[in-house]
Structure 1
Amino acid sequence: MLSEVKLVTLGVSDLDNACAFYSSALQYQVKESGPISPELAALWRFDTALTGRYAIIAADDSGLGRIRLLSFDAPGERIWNKDNLYNGSGFYALNFRSRDALDTMNAVKAAGGSSGKEPSAWEVSEHVSVRDSINDDPDGIRLDVFSYDRGGELRGPLETEVSVLQTVAIATRDVERSAAFYRALGYQTLFDQTLDFPELQDLLGTDKPVRIHNINLLKDGTIIPGRVEMFAYLDMDHLPDAPLRDKAVPPNIGILSASFESTDVDADLEHLQTLGGEPVARAQLALPGFGACDVATLFGPDGELLEIYRRA
């Protein structure tokens, strides 16, 4: 069985600038960096003519919820834009817990990112209330930052000013299908809601009032970081599907993949294919962030690239 999400990979326009932003805004520090080997091209779907660098950044030394930054010598385009906002499918946003969402929003803006407005209050349940701030890093990658007004004790203490990565959000046209795929990997429902309240447009930064169906899944019912969340804009059935699978490749800018640890890559690949996963590539090599690994990549139900690895 696969782990929770251990790491996400982001394509960025400038590696040094991105490292500086995440250090200043989220207090994430560089743990490892180096050149990107052309041996990774098939796994990560990039042209071997490209030259690039990577950095592994993290909030702490736990090995949980880390981020892998990639930049290349050729310019890329943003994966998400106004034309695919409501009907695109694929990895969409990263979610972090903060001691104070307003303080973190201000730090994001001071470091060169942006935010639509001050954090919005959201009653998640009768036990949990949060303040949620939707921000963008300098490359336009969406960062959802929240702090608890009520119920934080249910998720345990926060040891750093901003947490390790809590959740990677997936935009989909079929929430139930996507949730079923990840439930089959050992995820359990944390909440399943239709969100429809006046502040939602401000919270999401959309140009019109919206409703969304949102499912948040927790690994094995106990592991707090490394969650997956899927959402769909409702009332958008008139828009054609806009899968972003072929745009979410280096050197383009945005969330490129999510990584899961495996105890048996062969068995997990077989299981994932029975669930509809589509294999991309397989190799034994030095995987940035993990060392020597048996590693495979494949597409999930919304064309999102999944990286599964077993350390040598």
Structure 2
Amino acid sequence: MPVAGAVSEVRYVNLGVRDLAASIAFYTRAFGYQVLHTADDDGTGTARLWGSAEAYPAAVAVLGPAGATSGLLRLSGWAAPAGPARTGDTRRDHGHYAVNLRVDRIDEVRRRIQDDEALVLSEPRQWSITPEITVWDSLSHDPDGTVLDVFEIVEDATGFSGSGIGPHRVQTVAVHVPDAQAATDCYTGLGLRVWFDKTIDGMTDFFHVPGGVRLRDVNLYAPGHGDGGRVEIVQYVGLTGRFTDAAPPRTGINSITFEVDDLDAATAALCRAGGRPVAGETQVDLPMHGPARSRLLLGTGGEAIELFARVGG
């Protein structure tokens, strides 16, 4: 399948939150992130992006490691937040599933998460992602119920995951889909590449799924950017799911953002692979990236994917 051209790693994970100050405090304390940018947003640009007749104002903060320009969290503290993007049953809700965050010491971060009273879903467990990579992995919630897959790399014989010295930018955003192959085709059409594609057995208690359900897991990366900003396709084989609505001002993961060199070509590539546009093109001004042409599309899992190309770039 022809691809769209150059595509970045995930620049932003866009999270709607109820209490911006509380969310900033949680992520800076638990993960050592810094506030890289703040702004007040009147909501008109977001409304155009989502094709909404109503604007939803928000106070915005961009968080991440110092100096990072991708793998960032862009938090929108909605003035009038709606309900969560997901029902809370992550086994069945399609769409954006979790934010995967790498840490250097999972035991220390686990204590900080618990101190902030976020719900711990699964205690740390050691397992091998691939024969070359072993991790300590855990599942938790942030203050708004967004699932966080927090992990520590024990061994990486490939060197693909980069330095073990954090803080680390967002490693992957997991997307729960009804058909892993269709979703993989969508992201490879955009220009991402498959790092690994495997089916996982024996982790039903960790993922809180019924016995006999298998997890197909496809991890994709932007060429030259394996150490963060990846996409993880998740399909629970043997368990039916449902599509969810993550539009603003819902809380949780609203969308993910990629930079592309050709917005029209990237849009066409996603549509050929099963994506569909939400609204027309709009002009945006992105923190640390400046003025851009932008468009929002839905992937095959119903997840919102924002594409942007810098004006004059």
| TM-score in same-fold range (> 0.5) | yes
Please list, as runs of the form range in 1=range in 2, the aligned pairs for 1:157-176 lying within 5 A after superposition.
157-160=163-166, 162-176=167-181
Match for 2:49: what amino acid? L
Write out per-residue CA displacement over residues 148-205 of structure 1, whole angstroms, 9 at most, x where no aligned residue.
2221661221332x310110000011011101111222222222111111xx23422x
Match of 1:59 in 2: 65
Match of 1:297 in 2: 296
Give the alignment partner of residue 85 of structure 1, picking from 72, 85, 90. Answer: 90
The reply to whether residue 195 of structure 1 matches residue 200 of structure 2 is yes
Is the 1:187–1:221 contact (alpha carbons within 8 Å) kept by the matching residues of 2? no
Q: Note the C-alpha offset of 1:8.
A: 0.9
CA distance in 2, matches of 1:71, 1:290: 21
Any idea what SS the aligned residue of 1:21 has?
Answer: helix
Match for 1:110: what amino acid? D
Please list, as runs of the form range in 1=range in 2, the aligned pairs for 1:60-139 lying within 5 A after superposition.
60-82=66-88, 84-139=89-144
Give the alignment partner of residue 217 of structure 1, picking from 214, 217, 220. Answer: 220
Match of 2:276 in 1: 278
Any idea what SS the aligned residue of 1:119 has?
Answer: strand
The reply to whether residue 35 of structure 1 matches residue 43 of structure 2 is no
Any idea what SS the aligned residue of 1:194 has?
Answer: strand
Match for 1:145: what amino acid? V
Is the 1:45–1:249 contact (alpha carbons within 8 Å) kept by the matching residues of 2? no
Q: Note the C-alpha offset of 1:117.
A: 4.0
Write out per-residue CA displacement over residues 206-249 of structure 1, whole angstroms, 9 at most, x where no aligned residue.
1643421111112227532111111111222xx4x4111xx201
CA distance in 2, matches of 1:215, 1:153: 17
Is the 2:9–2:225 contact (alpha carbons within 8 Å) kept by the matching residues of 1? no
Gaps of 5+ in 1: none
The reply to whether residue 150 of structure 1 matches residue 155 of structure 2 is yes
Match for 1:282: what amino acid? E
Larger mean Cα displacement after TM superposition, 273-282 or 55-64: 273-282
CA distance in 2, matches of 1:148, 1:294: 37
Is the 2:86–2:246 contact (alpha carbons within 8 Å) kept by the matching residues of 1? no
Note closer, same or farther for the CA distance 1:260–1:140 as it changes in structure 2 (3 Å cut).
Answer: same
Any idea what SS the aligned residue of 1:281 has?
Answer: coil
Write out per-residue CA displacement over residues 87-112 of structure 1, whole angstroms, 9 at most, x where no aligned residue.
32111101111111222111111123
Match of 1:258 in 2: 256
Gaps of 5+ in 2: none
Is the 1:26–1:108 contact (alpha carbons within 8 Å) kept by the matching residues of 2? no
Match of 1:235 in 2: 238
CA distance in 1, matches of 2:26, 2:230: 24
Any idea what SS the aligned residue of 2:123 has?
Answer: coil
Is the 1:91–1:304 contact (alpha carbons within 8 Å) kept by the matching residues of 2? yes
Is the 2:17–2:144 contact (alpha carbons within 8 Å) kept by the matching residues of 1? yes
Q: Note the C-alpha offset of 1:282.
A: 1.1
Give the alignment's Cα RMSD to 1 decimal.
2.0
Note closer, same or farther for the CA distance 1:176–1:221 as it changes in structure 2 (3 Å cut).
Answer: farther
Any idea what SS the aligned residue of 2:23 has?
Answer: helix
Is the 1:46–1:249 contact (alpha carbons within 8 Å) kept by the matching residues of 2? no
CA distance in 2, matches of 1:33, 1:44: 22
Q: What percentage of aligned pairs have identical amino acids?
A: 31
CA distance in 2, matches of 1:106, 1:151: 25
Number of residue pairs matched?
Answer: 302
Note closer, same or farther for the CA distance 1:62–1:287 as it changes in structure 2 (3 Å cut).
Answer: closer
CA distance in 1, matches of 2:268, 2:101: 32
